[in-house]
Structure formats: structure tokens, C-alpha cells
Amino acid sequence: MTMKINQTTLALVRGDITRERVDAIANAANERLMGGGGVDGAIHRAGGPTIAVECSAIRAKQGGCPTGQAVITTGGNLPAKHVIHTVGPIWRGGDAGESELLASCYRESLRLAVEHGIKTIAFPSISTGVYGYPVAQAAVVALNGVKQFLEAHDGLDEVRFVLFDDVTYGAYENALATMEV
């Protein structure tokens, strides 16, 4: 499923983000940038040790990455040239600023992409694994956050959401179908 926002194609695909042939993939990282489980672990395993070395240098310089922020490394052995690591919020019931922090993940990742001349980027569904963010709510926040960024900024050719399973894909498909352009 695709949609055009200004000059950028917004696409939903079902698949494995570590296999995407894009300029950058976003990683649902932890604040320590250590490579954990889920998407984070898969990206670190597929990308090899170069990513961990660069994350270690970022930790040494700034102590990690706060929730809602993003940092960039090379892609190591991944088909993508770069990984943008962003830290999503842990779901605490919805009244602890989770939606703003989640939207910030997407905005900050896209800002870094534009700053680095990245034209194509793929996102997973951030915070919907072990961090427990309800997928249907996360899909609305993610897609609206990306839409708002794309309405205000040029420079990206494609923003792709690579969704690992049918339930997550369906939630994003429903959210995109009801979104106004």
C-alpha cells in the first residue's frame, strides 16, 4: 500500500527490515545502543560488529541516546548504507507522554536522514514489541508523525514501513487508509 505526500512516496510492506535495499533503516534501539532483542538485535546481528563499534563511540561521547531522539551509524554488512537508531517509549498506559515521544522518534530519524542526504528510509514499528506500545495506536502516531514531517520538508524520495507480521501490517494499513492527505 502506498501514498504520495508532496514528492515522497509513503509505503507499507511486509518483510524483514534487515534485507531492505534503502539508504537507511531505522532501528528500534535501547538508550544504551547495545543491541537488544527484536528488531534491534536482528539489525546488530545482520549488520555485524561495525555497528556496535560505532554505537560504542556514540555512548562514549554522549552517554547513549535518550528516548525520542536518534543517532546515525553506518550499516555495516546490511544492504542499507546507514542505520538510524531511535529509542521509542516504553508503554505505561498512554498518560506518560508516550505518543509525543514516539512521534519524536520518527521526526528525529527523518531529520537526520535529510541532514545526511538520505533519500530512502525504512522504519519498523517502533515500541510495539517488548516496549508494549499497542500496535494500532502506534501505527496512527507513526504515520501521522511521518506525514507531518513530509508536509513540511522536502528531500526524501521514499519512506517505507517494513512490518514483520500480518497483525502489524494490518494495523498500519488501517491507519493509512483513514489518514487524510
Q: Which residues are catalytic?
A: 40
The H or E element that residue 149 is part of is helix 135-152
Distance separating alpha carbons of residues 176 and 181, to the nearest angstrom: 10
Q: Which amino acid type is present at position 131?
A: Y
Region of 9 (left: φ > 0; alpha: ψ -120 to 50; beta: rest) is beta
Residue 1 C-alpha cell reads as: 500500500
Phi, psi of 85 (to 5 degrees): -90, 125
Region of 38 (left: φ > 0; alpha: ψ -120 to 50; beta: rest) is left
